[in-house]
Amino acid sequence: MDDKRPIRELIACQKPGWSLERRFYTDPEIYKLEIDQIVMRNWIFAGHESQVAESGDFKVLNVASESAIIVRGQDGKIRAFANTCRHRGSLVCLEPSGNTRKFECPYHAWVYDTEGKLIGARDMPADFNKEKFALNPVSIDVVHGLMFICFCDGPPSLDSAKRDLAEPLAMFDFENLKVAATKTYPISANWKLSVENYVECYHCAPAHSVYAKMHTLMLDANKQKRVQGHMLEKMPACGLKVISYDCADINAPPGQQGYTYSRTAMFEGYKSGSRDGEPIAPLLGNLSDYDGGGSDISIGPVSFFLAYSDHVVGYVFTPVDQTHCQCQTYWMVRSDAVEGKDYDCKELMWLWDTTLYADEEIIVNNWKGVQSRYYKPGPLSGMEKSEARFISWVLHELRRAPSITS
C-alpha cells in the first residue's frame, strides 16, 4: 500500500545514512517542491564563456519547464533572459546556439535586441510602451570562465567558490579553456537518482570496468590512501599543488553556494582519461608534465567537473520532468588547441561517452526498482558518504518549503 503520510512526517522519519523512501522519487508533489526549493534556487552550469565569445553569440539552456537565452550583447556583456516572449509567452529562441543581432519571436514577430530590450512590436496601441516589455532577466554569473545561471532573483552567493577555487582552477587555466565537444544523455529516471549515482563510486568497480581500471576512486578510502604516493611525488614538479575544499551541500558556508575541490591519483601508468592512458590533448595552463591524477570539482548541487592534466570534462544533471532527466556533458581543452592536430574529438570523448552510457543503464534500472511496491530503503556504505550528504541536504531544503513549515 502506498505511504500516505504527510510530506513533513515523511521527511522527519527519514533515517540518516539510508537511501530515500520511495515517495521521494515518485510523488508529484515532492517533485514540485524540489523544483521550487532546489533546482530553481541554485546555480546551474551553463557552459564556458568561450561559447559566447563574440557580440551576438548566444546559447539556450533548458531546465525542467524553464528555458534561458545566454547572450553576449553588443556592449560585450554576457546576460541571460527567460526564453519567453512578453506578448503571449511563446518561446522566442528556437535554435540551441548561434549568432544574431536580434531575437524575433516566431509567433507574432515581437523583436528583442541582444540586451533584451523590445525593439519591435507590430500594431500595438498608441500608448504601448516598449520599455516595459523587455525580456525578463535570469541571474547569471561567471566563475573563472564557467557560466552559471539561476532561475531565481536571490540566488546563493558564489563569492566563497570564486575565492577558494581561484588557485586550483588557475592551475588548469579554466578561464582560457574552450569547449571541444558537447553531448546530452537523456535518462529515463527521476533526477535525484542521476546525482546520487554521480557522487558515489561504490558502483564503479562492478558497473564501470573501463573507468575502474584507471581511477583509484573505485577503491575504499583506506585503499585509496595507499596508492596516492606516485601522484603526490610528481605534483610539485608538474606545477600542481595539493588543495582540498569540501564545502558542498550541507557543508556550504551560510548563504553561499556549495563547492568542492580535490585531486586523486589514477593508477600508475595512466596519465589521462584516455583509451590507453596516454595524453590526448596539450597540457593545460602552465602545467609542465603529467602527475597521473584527476581533480574532482563541484559548484552547486548538479554541476560537476573532472580536470585531467590535458582536458576537463563537465557534467550537468538536470530534470526534464518528474520521470526524466538529462546529463549535459562538455569536453574542454586549452583555447589554442587545434582539432585534428592537437586532439581528436572521438578519442577525447571516448572514456566518458562509454561511462555515461553505462551510467544511464544503471540509473534507469535503479529507477525501475525504486518504483516497485517491494522497494524499501537500505543503509548506505562508507563509499556513499557524498550521497548521504546530498540526501540530507535535499531534505533540509525541502523542510524550508512554506507548505512544509506552515
Q: Domain coordinates of the chain in residue numbers?
A: 44-140, 157-385
Tell me, rounded to whole angstroms, the distance of Cα 166 from its chain centroid: 19
Fold of 157-385: Naphthalene 1,2-dioxygenase Alpha Subunit; Chain A, domain 1 (3.90.380)
Residue pLDDT, tens place only, 185-220: 999 999 999 999 999 999 999 999 999 999 999 999
- The two beta strands, 146-150 and 177-187, are unpaired
Residue pLDDT, tens place only, 46-91: 999 999 999 999 999 999 999 999 999 999 999 999 999 999 999 9
Right CATH number for 44-140 from 2.102.10.10, 3.40.50.720, 3.40.220.10, 1.10.3470.10?
2.102.10.10
Read off φ and ψ for residue 297, nearest 5 degrees: -135, 140
Predicted pLDDT at 150: 98
Predicted pLDDT at 406: 59
Model pTM?
Answer: 0.96
| HEC string for the chain | CCCCCCHHHHHHCCCCCECCCCHHHHCHHHHHHHHHHCHHHCCEEEEEHHHHCCCCEEEEEEECCEEEEEEECCCCCEEEEECCCCCCCCCCCCCCEEECCEEECCCCCCEEECCCCEEECCCCCCCCCHHHHCCCECEEEEECCEEEEECCCCCCECHHHHHHHHHHHHHCCHHHEEEEEEEEEEECCCHHHHHHHHHCCCCHHHHCHHHHCCEHHHCCHHHHHHCCHHHHHHHHHHCCCCCCEEECHHHCCCCECCEEEEEEEECCCCCCCCCCCCCCCCCCCCCCCCCCEEEEEEECCCEEEEECCCCEEEEEEEEEECCEEEEEEEEEEECCCCECCCECHHHHHHHHHHHHHHHHHHHHHHHHHHCCCCCCCCECCHHHHHHHHHHHHHHHHHHCCHHHHC
Nearest to 158 by CA among 300, 262, 48, 46: 300
Predicted pLDDT at 11: 95
Predicted pLDDT at 4: 83
Contact between residue 68 and residue 83 where contact means Cβ atoms under 8 Å apart: yes
Each residue's pLDDT expressed in tens, for the chain with a length of 406 residues:
567 889 999 999 999 999 999 999 999 999 999 999 999 999 999 999 999 999 999 999 999 999 999 999 999 999 999 999 999 999 999 999 999 999 999 999 999 999 999 999 999 999 999 999 999 999 999 999 999 999 999 999 999 999 999 999 999 999 999 999 999 999 999 999 999 999 999 999 999 999 999 999 999 999 999 999 999 999 999 999 999 999 999 999 999 999 999 999 999 999 999 999 999 999 999 999 999 999 999 999 999 999 999 999 999 999 999 999 999 999 999 999 999 999 999 999 999 999 999 999 999 999 999 999 999 999 999 999 999 999 999 999 999 998 887 5
Predicted pLDDT at 403: 84
Cell 609542465 sits on residue: 288
Predicted pLDDT at 17: 96
